[in-house]
């Protein structure tokens, strides 16, 4: 329970970059994204930090994908 008296949803979501919605989305564990064909198993492969250049910052995979998606859109 959290401070509001509601049950906490600890680790009940997985995060990915959704190309359809063009943003990072949290999706319920055990289910696919409602907008794109992304699966939790695929996203579990890409754990860790990734170096984003020219931002020069380490990012998690979903945020890394979002950064390069928008960087590519701006340059085209």
- pTM for the model: 0.64
- Average pLDDT across the chain, whole number: 84
Look at residue 56 and tell me whether its pLDDT is greater than 90: yes
pLDDT of 29-48, one tens digit each?
889 999 998 888 866 777 78
Yes or no: say if 15 and 66 are a contact pair by the CB < 8 Å rule: no
């Amino acid at each position: 329970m959290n401070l509001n008296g509601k049950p906490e949803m600890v680790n009940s979501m997985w995060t990915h970059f959704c190309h359809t919605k063009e943003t990072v989305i949290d999706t319920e564990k055990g289910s696919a994204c409602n907008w794109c064909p992304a699966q939790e198993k695929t996203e579990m492969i890409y754990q860790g930090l990734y170096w984003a250049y020219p931002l020069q910052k380490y990012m998690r995979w979903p945020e890394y994908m979002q950064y390069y998606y928008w960087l590519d859109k701006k340059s085209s």
